[in-house]
Amino acid sequence: MDAQQIIKAESDYVLHTYNRPPVVFTQGKGLHLYDSEGNEYLDFTSGIAVTALGHSDEEWVTAVAQQAAALTHVSNLYHSTPQAELAQKLVENSFADKIYFCNSGAEANEAALKFARKYAKTISQSPNTKSNIVAFTGGFHGRTAGALSVTWKEKYRTPFEPLLPGVQFATYNDLTSAEDAIDDDTCAVIVEPVQGEGGVHPAAPEFLQGLGALCDAHDALLIFDEVQCGLGRTGHLWAYQAYGVEPDMMTLAKPLAGGLPIGATLLRQKVADVIQPGDHGSTFAAGPLVCAAANVVFDRVSRPEFLAQVRQNGEYLQHRLKTLESEKITAVRGAGLLAAADLTTEAAPVIAKARENGLLIISAGENTLRLAPALTVNRDEIDTAVSILATCLD
Ligand SMILES: Cc1ncc(COP(=O)(O)O)c(C=O)c1O
């Protein structure tokens, strides 16, 4: 099939839940993608913050190929080596005592909400009323029913209501608003330490610390959604490490297996203690193939020198973007290699123009550009991306 035939087949047969540009990618290497017409693009999306090591990383490809040849899937009815190795690494390098594996960010949040409800039912003096969940303005947690219930944008939620009852939204980065929302009937508070889809907004340290204190005071569980900002994206292994506060649960997904589907909910022992066999599960989760990939990603990203480079290159990216501040770009912000630029115009035409000029970027809201390159990006690639972007702002 040529590009036109592929685009037509997708439009004929694939449910229209995405508006895709007329490009068919056929190959990737490092920060570069190639389309069916032989055009080259600099990829500053990394598949929405997923391909942390870039495209077709050699070590990753070798591990996946070897694991596929040895064993791909056995289901969670049986033990397998790569899953055990990955779980050990995640626990030994975080606040967590246990890991629950799944296949996506929404699923990881779905699991966290279920675990919070069961924890409250098990430990609370008032198990019938301690079921409320507090989420935040601008937050995005996924599209499944539970995760959608705690996602802020009404456009995503309204067509599917009624969703989970007992969800209350407080204002992000406003501790007074959180104080008003969190009480003894709250079983969980879910928050992104750095909001991604909501416009790349880092939390203020006193806000996250205050949430920790409020959760302690009301016996509610603090859930950090690090699906987008976790695993090296901010230049710290976990975004929360920059804040001096630890959660009771944390969700991960996007970059964890470098491009294969995986999700994880990390839990403290007190939460793990209330979960029994049969309470939750997944056929595909954390099979040998995806975990072999994730082990390569984790081993590389967790190295201190790798994280230091992400911090340095993140600062450089923001510094270079700030040189574009003008009538059209009013503000630049970010955390590590997750950067945003606010526009006075709509983001979509700038994104389209950038693509036509060989640079892939995405939006985070109507008027905000989001740049989330692979964590392996280098300074030359940042310079090239920023100079292409500069030509798209006229
Ligand atoms: C912070 C956050 N949580 C959850 C999700 C949902 O992840 P998934 O699309 O893998 O279900 C996303 C996806 O963008 C996200 O950014």
Q: What is the CATH number of the domain that holds 134?
A: 3.40.640.10
With contact defined as beta carbons under 8 Å apart, do 120 and 326 qualify? no
- The per-residue pLDDT for 31 is 98
Please tell me whether residues 46 and 95 are part of one structural domain.
Answer: no
Going by pLDDT thresholds of 50, 70 and 90, the confidence category of residue 209 is very high
Q: Is the pLDDT of residue 9 over 90?
A: yes
- Can you give the residue range of the structural domain that contains 76? 71-301
pLDDT digits (tens, 9 = 90+) for 293-337: 999 999 999 999 999 999 999 999 999 999 998 888 999 999 999
The pLDDT of 62-70, averaged and rounded, is 98
Q: Is the pLDDT of residue 125 over 90?
A: no
- The per-residue pLDDT for 45 is 98
106 lines ligand 1 (CB under 6 A): yes
370 lines ligand 1 (CB under 6 A): no
- The per-residue pLDDT for 298 is 99
Indicate which residue's Cα is closest to atom 3 of ligand 1: 141
Residue 81 lies in a domain: yes
Please tell me whether residues 272 and 127 are part of one structural domain.
Answer: yes
Please tell me whether residues 106 and 240 are part of one structural domain.
Answer: yes
Among 301, 326, 354, the domain-final residue is 301
- The per-residue pLDDT for 57 is 98
- CATH code, domain with 369: 3.90.1150.10
Residue 62 lies in a domain: no
Atom in ligand 1 nearest the alpha carbon of residue 107: 11
CA of 105 from ligand 1 middle (Å) equals 5
pLDDT digits (tens, 9 = 90+) for 332-348: 999 999 999 999 999 99
The pLDDT of 93-104, averaged and rounded, is 98
User: Across all residues in the chain, what is the average pLDDT?
Assistant: 97
The pLDDT of 213-235, averaged and rounded, is 98
Number of domains in the chain: 2
Pocket test for ligand 1, best of 227, 251, 370 (most atoms within 8 A of CB): 227
- The per-residue pLDDT for 63 is 98
The pLDDT of 368-378, averaged and rounded, is 98
CA of 245 from ligand 1 middle (Å) equals 22
The pLDDT of 163-182, averaged and rounded, is 98
Please tell me whether residues 296 and 316 are part of one structural domain.
Answer: no
pLDDT digits (tens, 9 = 90+) for 250-281: 999 999 999 999 999 999 999 999 999 999 99
